[in-house]
Amino acid sequence: MSERLGSLLVPCCILLVSVYASLYVGLLPPLWFSILPLLPLILAGVAILLAWHFNKGRVLILVLLLLIPKLYGDSDQDASLTAYLVVSCFCIALLGFIPERGFFNRFAVNRILFVVMLVCWCYAIERRWVSFSFLDYAFFHSSFTWSTVLLWCVLCLSTTAIGAAWWLSGDTFRASGLISIICLLIISHFVSSDTQFDALLSAQFLLWIWFLLMESHRMAYLDDMTRLPGRRALNEQLVGLPNQYAIAMVDVDHFKKFNDTYGHDMGDKVLKTVASQLKLFAYPGRAFRYGGEEFTVVFRGKHLAESEKALELVRESIEETLVEVFDPKKKRDVDVNVTVSIGVAFAALAESPDSVLKRADEALYQSKKKGRNRVSKSLQPKNV
């Protein structure tokens, strides 16, 4: 729950601040007021460069969608805005359901062509180059036409779809996409001046720049498979530890044999299961992916007294969790359980983190030697 809501926190803050700032944008000094129309283009350029650098094709398409109303200019603004709203909200929601395929390749080209086709189609309808007369009829004798109802159906469907997808996954891209759709609705129905329009649109590009920077942090510090912080994050954590801390090493028992029996794909599934149990039960420690089938848990400060209890809980939860894997010999799925061996070391006064990590690894070896599936504690060093 906290991760899900956390993915929406910064996008919501950017939206609220931008809406508040747009109400007072007229108070800007003349120099800033003259720069404001160029700000969306500048931020869009920065977002595109970052998307290219991090190979994020979905963000490229999304930035191009956000640029459509700005590039239309002032000619027939209401018509162009309606066409833009239909295409952008639908495509932003659609981007939340398709995988990332890179910045510029045949996948990106196909997606851009699809968006261009939708824009051209909607623009042709707005300009009456293509006409469907039945869409101009009243919707069941109401004041709304069929075209208006269909437009709002697309908007509601797009918002509901990406909102539900975000709620189920907690994905940051979907959270940012949901806020972008809400911001576009605000721009379309509540903005009364070009300066407000530029301020809100600039905030949207700022939102996607933030997303790309967060993605760069995730790629550098988060392990893609287990979704735990990786070795680089662990190294930075070890640098800033307090005087009192403990380090635990966690290793999956008989992992090589498991891989040989069920295959590496099933081995990856086991690692994901172990990582999920570490996330749930390692608190107040913080779990990291050390490498291979090894994980590290760091406890610090006043929480040291709870560390051994937490590690025992982790060991028990992993042992009790069944993992469904495909057995190539039986040609069917079977439920198996795995165990872990754990070694923990408590830091002595003035002892270096590397030394504590080494002692935790030695305690892990003792757990293996004593029969596995247990927690062993390292003795305090005699000389530091």
Q: Where are the domains of the chain?
A: 2-221, 231-377
Cβ–Cβ < 8 Å for 22, 44: no
Tokens in use for 304? 């040291």
* Mean pLDDT of the 145-168 span: 83
Distance CA 183, CA 53 (A): 26
Q: Please report the pLDDT score of residue 313 as a whole number.
A: 92
Amino acid at 287: A
Q: Please report the pLDDT score of residue 131 as a whole number.
A: 62
Is the previous residue joined to 284 through a cis bond, with omega within 30 degrees of 0? yes
* Mean pLDDT of the 121-146 span: 66
Residues 6+ apart with CB under 8 A from 52: 60, 103, 104
Tokens in use for 21? 């700032």
Cβ–Cβ < 8 Å for 44, 67: yes
pLDDT at residue 296 tops 60: yes
154 against 167, higher pLDDT: 167
Count CB atoms within 10 A of the CB of residue 121. Answer: 15
Distance CA 49, CA 18 (A): 23
Q: Please report the pLDDT score of residue 77 as a whole number.
A: 45
**Which is it for the CA torsion 52, 58, 61, 65, positive or negative?**
negative
Instruction: State pLDDT tens for residues 176-231.
Output: 999 999 888 888 778 778 888 888 889 999 999 999 998 888 888 888 888 899 88
Which is the CATH superfamily of the domain at 231-377?
A: Reverse transcriptase/Diguanylate cyclase domain (3.30.70.270)
Burial class (CB in 10 A: 0-12, 13-18, 19+), 39: middle
Q: Is 306 a catalytic residue?
A: no
Residues 6+ apart with CB under 8 A from 29: none
pLDDT at residue 31 tops 90: no
Which of these ranges, 24-28, 71-75, 263-267, has the smallest mean pLDDT? 71-75
Which residue carries 């966690």 as its tokens?
250
Catalytic residue among 126, 215, 293, 308: 293
* Mean pLDDT of the 53-66 span: 88
pLDDT band at 295 (very low <50, low <70, confident <90, very high): very high
Instruction: State pLDDT tens for residues 8-18.
Output: 888 889 889 88
pLDDT band at 135 (very low <50, low <70, confident <90, very high): low
pLDDT band at 350 (very low <50, low <70, confident <90, very high): confident
Which residue carries 């635990």 as its tokens?
248
Residues forming beta bridges with residue 246, ordered by sequence position? 299, 346
Residues 6+ apart with CB under 8 A from 337: 319, 320, 321, 322, 323
Q: Which of 144, 55, 143 is nearest to 104 (CA)?
A: 55
Q: Please report the pLDDT score of residue 145 as a whole number.
A: 67
**Mean pLDDT across the chain, nearest whole number?**
83
Which of these ranges, 134-138, 171-175, 341-345, has the smallest mean pLDDT? 134-138
Q: Please report the pLDDT score of residue 50 as a whole number.
A: 92
Distance CA 28, CA 202 (A): 15
**Which is it for the CA torsion 224, 226, 228, 232, positive or negative?**
negative
Q: Where are the alpha helices (DSSP H) in 240-306?
A: 255-262, 264-281
* Mean pLDDT of the 292-316 span: 87
Distance CA 59, CA 172 (A): 12
Q: Where are the alpha helices (DSSP H) in 191-339?
A: 194-221, 231-239, 255-262, 264-281, 307-320
Q: Please report the pLDDT score of residue 188 as a whole number.
A: 79
Instruction: State pLDDT tens for residues 80-115.
Output: 446 667 778 888 898 899 888 888 777 778 888 887
Tokens in use for 317? 């939860």
Q: Please report the pLDDT score of residue 74 as a whole number.
A: 46
pLDDT at residue 253 tops 70: yes
Q: What percent of the chain has pLDDT over 90?
A: 23
Residues 6+ apart with CB under 8 A from 245: 298, 299, 300, 301, 304, 346, 347, 356
